[in-house]
Structure 1
Amino acid sequence: SETVTATGLTDMYVKCGEIENGIVLFDAMLERDVVSWTGIIVGCGQNGRAKEAIRYFREMIGSGVEPNEVTFFGVLTACRHSGLVEQGRSVLESMRCEYGLEPCLEHYYCVVDLLGQAGRFQEAEELINKMPMEPDKTIWMSLLTACGTHNNAGLVTVIAEKLLKAFPEDPSVYTCLSNVYAMMGMWDRLSGVREAAKKLGAKESGLSWIEIGGTKV
């Protein structure tokens, strides 16, 4: 059908980074289904066009087409890339309350990352505590990195303990911890992480050590 063909072409433009052509083609479509709407929303989000992604999301709802889990992930990703905290929180809330869809870890990750980037750590922790599933390492590592950016040493220590307890043999956890400790100048803790990683057999080249005065820390 014409809708399927146009949707495929729009998707091609979006994936090639030609978002303007994708938007022009989408806007010219006479009929749009959930796949075509979701495609343009995800495409706008991936190409730094968060406001357009949100606009299309609202137009989609106004047209009577109900969004699915992928649509919501596309909108939340757009919000995350552009730091649109309030919009992201509102979209996540509407997912369950208005459409009866249960957010999965990927949806929660977007909003936790948003809150962390904004330095709103209490809200991020509250959201994690309300999640119906256990947070995975991606969520904790996202919040950990945000703590490093905002110099929140207290929460770094708390999250580090959670990560090391839940994922004691995961090299990526040690990499993330080493980066944050180095960022914050927490050299004693960085040294401890390095020693722990060595005991696990983690290759030093896989960790982001830095040098100070010719000495690796």
Structure 2
Amino acid sequence: MADQFVELLGTAPVSVDGGKLTFVRGSLCTMLSIWKDRYDRSAFSWMVYTDYTGLRDRMDDFGGVGIRIDHPTPTGDASPSSIPPAACYPWPAGSAPLAPEIAAGVTRYGPASLHFVRDSHDLGLLLLADTHVHREGVWSFTSANSGPARLAQAILLARQCGDQELERAAVTKLRNRGEEPVAPYPDYLFRQAVADWSRQYAKATGIDLSDLAKLKRKRPQYPEIP
């Protein structure tokens, strides 16, 4: 199965481990995962995840600093989902090739998914996005309730890379949304959630996020816009 995907993608991975194909571009690591359904072993699906290599090991407990890229189902449905796509493709019997419609989907959406994230700066902007970002028929997964965690990750990434433009965008968004409640908790503010996530990220990475931790106070002091 993995060999067929590699041929259809037209790009050689740096490694193949079962159903996991790993590709590296600059500071980004992209993994295409193929898996069988837990209950129906005759069905499978695939998805793509891109993260920043420089924080991968230290942020492993949080899934890295990255974004999931989804593609339409065989029915053509392109509705973003809050959960990974369901296994919806028939697993080929024996050594049979993938069905033509499945192969066409891999050829159409695979390369677009692998190259969806352009660089570390673009990854940071995707983390800051309020909604799913669509490009070339595929899209980045963005859930509303993950906003504070993603913003803290964007600042973490900006400081790791020395990307002041990205940090400026993140702090501006933080200032704009800081006093909003985080659903479904009316007394838990956006800035407080950012503070909680930043403490965990700072502990895991050793990167200074102490200014974000202060946002938990009743009278918060927001970070300066760089």
Which is helix-richer, 1 or 2? 1
| Bigger relative contact order, structure 1 or 2 (CA pairs below 8 A, ≥6 apart) | 2
For this structure pair, what is the TM-score category when the shorter chain's length is used for normalisation? 0.3 to 0.5
Normalized against structure 1, the TM-score is what?
0.37
